[in-house]
Structure 1
Amino acid sequence: MNKKLAALAMACALVPAVAMASDKPPTSDKMVNDYNKYMVVYTSPTERIYADADTIERDPASAGELPVIRATLYAEIYKSPMTWPDYGNYKMVDYILRYDTAVGADQYGSVIRYKILNKLEGAFTPDGKAAAYNGTIKEGANEAEEIYMSLYRVSKNSY
């Protein structure tokens, strides 16, 4: 009986460790090279945003309505100003920001309006280590349409 209790205690002790390991943020190299898991949903001169394919969910929507789409997004924030050694040494990324995101769209007549809600969950170095982010967090309203369209194309109904 003691062996069974010891095995159960060991299994319970390992569960948090496994959960923490799976919560580890991806590195910049991992996102660039794992096309099936990390999809580019937005790019600009200052950042590239990836969606974690395993987290994309589309909320149920009635016929004629557009669904809300949720996902974990990772924003690679590029160094500014960029230098030749940054390019030459593939050190272009300054930070990776992880967001819990919900993006939606509503149609008003012939116009569709997009809204994005981002909750910053963490800042990391390009190699996935926790970091203090000293930059400013922008709203993301300009990105909402492109992110919505990109996520809609790869999302599936979650019901």
Structure 2
Amino acid sequence: MKKQLAALALACALIPGAAMAAGKVPTSDKMMNDYNKYVVVYTSDEERIYADADTIERDPVSAGELPVIRATLYAEVYKHPLTWPDYGNYRMVDYILQYDTAVGADQLGQTIKYRILNKLEGAYTPDGKAAPLPGKFEDPADEAEDIYVALYRVSKTSY
């Protein structure tokens, strides 16, 4: 297990700036309407997390092992509290956080342990413009299992 955690940390360190290669940060409307490019991997009352389908990579593994999956994630963080004008004017998203993410899973007996490493790349307005990092934001680490399962389903093997 220590080898796998070390390999995951090394893989994250070696990932080139996917955000730079991907180009401009998408707007909230673009992510919502481009189903082929932006895949929803998690939703809650506070946020909706998309993966850029062009950046999803699954490491090859031996039979019986679970792969590390890497992707660029965008977390739309909703305003809190939401008001009627927020709904009525479709202004529910407060900001977008961009992450370079690696997520993995290890089977320990009958239990699978999920882990996620996120590198926050930046904060943006709903229309994709750079914004200062919000003072308080939550890293999606608590959603590692949900994000892993969703990314696993849409990822492709490279072998």
Percent of residue pairs bearing the same amino acid type = 77
Deviation per residue, 1:18-71 (Å, 9 max, x gap): x97951100000000000000100001000000000000001111100000000
Q: Give the 4+ runs in structure 1 shifted more than 6 A.
A: none
How far apart in 2 are the matches of 1:144 and 1:53? 18
Contact 1:31 1:50 in 2 (8 A): yes
Report the RMSD for the aligned CA atoms in angstroms.
1.6
Tell me which structure has the larger Cα radius of gyration.
1
Contact 1:55 1:71 in 2 (8 A): yes
Question: Secondary structure at the residue paired with 2:131?
Answer: coil
How far apart in 1 are the matches of 2:151 and 2:20? 26
Give the alignment's TM-score, normalised by structure 1: 0.84
Counterpart in 2 of 1:113? 113
Contact 1:47 1:77 in 2 (8 A): yes
Distance 1:104 1:31, change over 3 A: same
Contact 1:95 1:133 in 2 (8 A): no
Contact 2:123 2:134 in 1 (8 A): no
What 5-or-longer segments of structure 1 have no aligned partner? 1-18
What 5-or-longer segments of structure 2 have no aligned partner? 1-18
Matched ranges for 1:82-121 at <5 A: 82-121=82-121
Matched ranges for 1:1-159 at <5 A: 22-159=22-159
Give the aligned residue type for 2:91.
K
Give the alignment's TM-score, normalised by structure 2: 0.84
How far apart in 2 are the matches of 1:46 and 1:73? 16
Counterpart in 2 of 1:6? none
Which deviates more from structure 2 when the two are superposed, residues 119-128 or residues 136-145?
136-145
How far apart in 1 are the matches of 2:87 and 2:153? 32
Give the aligned residue type for 2:82.
M
How far apart in 2 are the matches of 1:121 and 1:61? 28
How far apart in 2 are the matches of 1:83 and 1:92? 9
